[in-house]
A and B are shown apart, each in its own frame.
Chain A
Amino acid sequence: MSGPTIRRGGVGSTSSGTFVLDAEFVLRWVVEAAARIDEQRDFLTQLDAAIGDADHGVNMQRGFTAAVATVQSSSDRSPGSLLEEVGKTLIYRVGGAAGPLYGTGFRQIGVTISEAVTPDGEVLLSALRAGLGGIQALGAAAAGDKTMVDAWEPAVAAFQRTLEAGGETEEAARNAAEAANAGVEATLPLQARKGRASYLGSRSIGHQDPGATSTAIIFGALERALRRRP
């Protein structure tokens, strides 16, 4: 337990020092993500149809449905190894480019948490940053290339800024989700520089990136998973 902190949240909120990164949290995050992807499936597919294969929504739904089943059926109670399992499931079940990218992202998140002694908000931040690193290593994408990095990178930055300013993990996740959404909006006027959309030329301009959009959904789910704590 950490020492006394200024509590900016309401009753029941905790500082990043006492945030519990456990198997229950992993389940809440993945269930939230799957539920929100279910809702947004057609929207994601519609975004993808403009510059991709029109399968992003369906692929993500299949992958996250499988990820929920993986977490629910696992007897493993270690949050790190559960998230590594989620990553493996996403690689095989999402398919396309999103499968390997999200799969690597979640595996890196899991590995980082597995290595931590006491998983707290700081560890979650490191894990999210490692996830971004895995995605960037695989896709060679930087911010502004019109990919999921355009949502993931500002989300990690906002998470970090909040913790550095003494904010709680919940607040950090809320700011991260907001930053991810703003990142998605910012992809609209861009021309894709990575992925299939990049060589289809300027057709991508004026379209919101489906990968950045699903990343924002995942960060939205993270915020909700942290908010809805028993």
Chain B
Amino acid sequence: MTALFAAGDRRGTIQSVDRAARILRVLGSSPRLGVTEISDRLGIAKATVHGLLRTLEQQELVEQDADNGKYRLGAAMLQLGNSFLDNHELRARSLMWAGSLATRVGEAVRVGVMNGETVLIVHHVFRPDNSVQILEVGASIPWHACALGKAVVAFDPPSRRNALLGANLSPLTGRTQTDPSVLRTELEDVATLGVAVEDQEAVVGEAEIASPVFDHRGDPAGAIGVVGPVERLLPDGPSPELIAAVREAGRGLSRDMGAGRFAARD
């Protein structure tokens, strides 16, 4: 929590904007907060917090609860989030592919892009079985613990891949691969196979099979993958049908992204 809401690197930045951004983040972590609570959590004087909140309220980025005077994120935040997704090329182009992949295999589908050392989920199609599921758009998953991340990093330039392998590889489950040399070999296999497999490395009981998506330069733009219960996705390793379905979606989406035949690794 402290890292998330810590003051940013001050060089060349505006302190009040940094503080306003931290207020938005702390409000994103709790249903409702009062001025004092925000002041305590961020270590910013109450009067300053109050002024920043009033400014953010004018911009509809925060709202004040009429009953108890506490603050929460405002409606403009949703509009900004939607704009981010609408303007995201991979997401926009993935909607059709993700929907048809989910229907074809009867499981949930996620589309993700690399964001630092994590995969940011930009699209999520629920498993088509009418069960209650939680929307994972906006989720941030360590790259080494999910098939989406491994699918992208396997095709990243060696310098970037090495940097990621040298960074923090903490476990999310007992099965998360945290040894860089084992992970490196696994990435080589992913590059050969064209799909990445994850077996309960992010969440116990869950597996994922993902294919990279390439852009017009032939660089990996993100990945598309099927995610679901391990006993259904990997009863005896991934089924050839499932691999084929994921690979086809990755290729089709790459073509839509402008990747040439070569770049799409046909």
Contact = CB atoms under 8 A, between A and B. Distances in A.
A194 interface: yes
A213 B229 CA distance: 23
A100 B205 contact: yes
Interface string A82-100: 0000000000000111111
A55 B176 CA distance: 24
Contacts of B141: 199
Interface stretch (B60-68, B95-103, B132-140, B236-244): B132-140
Interface of B is mostly: loop
A118 interface: no
Interface stretch (B10-18, B25-33, B83-91, B216-224): B25-33
A201 B140 contact: yes
A191 B205 contact: no
B195 interface: no
B69 interface: no
Interface string A68-109: 000000000000000000000000000111111100000000
Interface stretch (B154-162, B166-174, B246-254): B166-174
A116 interface: no
A53 B133 contact: yes
B30 A201 contact: no
B4 interface: yes
A12 to B, nearest CB: 41
Closest 6 CB pairs of A and B: A202-B29, A97-B204, A54-B132, A140-B171, A97-B205, A199-B141
Interface of A: 49, 51-55, 95-101, 136-140, 191, 194-196, 198-203, 205-206
Given A96-B229, A100-B204, A140-B174, 12 more contacts: A49-B134, A52-B134, A54-B134, A96-B205, A97-B204, A136-B174, A194-B172, A199-B141, A200-B136, A200-B139, A201-B28, A205-B1
